[in-house]
């Protein structure tokens, strides 16, 4: 992820269920409520010139799609390493929720 304004974040253990069935247990979980980093049409995170995509190998080259809107990120990953993956974990789940409504 590029640098984003985060309004709320949490960390803790995460169990992942699919259709009521436990698929992963005891993953490391992380949630962030942030400004919208992903494009509303393509869901991509673009480079500064918006001609390419954000790359963690060039972390300063990013654009934020709409800092006045919000999105929620949920990440869960295992501690088991897999050097063939990036990030280097055997299990890595990153869900983005872009249809967010603030309730006050």
**C-alpha to C-alpha distance for 81 and 88, rounded to whole angstroms:** 6
Q: For the chain, what are the domain ranges? A: 6-97
Q: Is the pLDDT of residue 40 over 90?
A: no
Q: Which residue has the tokens 């918006």?
A: 50
**pLDDT exceeding 90 applies to what percent of the chain?**
79
Q: Lowest-confidence range among 69-73, 91-95, 98-102?
A: 98-102
Q: Which of 103, 101, 96, 102 is nearest to 40 (CA)?
A: 96
pLDDT of residue 9: 97
pLDDT in tens, 44-73: 999 999 999 999 899 999 999 998 999 999
């Amino acid at each position: 992820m590029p640098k984003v304004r985060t309004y709320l974040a949490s960390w803790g253990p995460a169990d992942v269920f699919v259709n009521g069935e436990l698929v992963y247990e005891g993953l490391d979980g992380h949630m962030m409520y942030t400004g919208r980093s992903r494009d509303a049409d393509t869901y991509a995170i673009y480079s500064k010139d918006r001609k390419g995509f954000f790359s963690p190998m060039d972390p300063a080259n990013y654009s934020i799609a709409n800092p006045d809107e919000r999105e929620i990120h949920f990440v869960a990953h295992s501690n088991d390493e897999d050097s063939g993956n990036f990030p280097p974990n055997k299990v890595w789940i990153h869900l983005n929720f872009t249809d967010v409504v603030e309730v006050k």
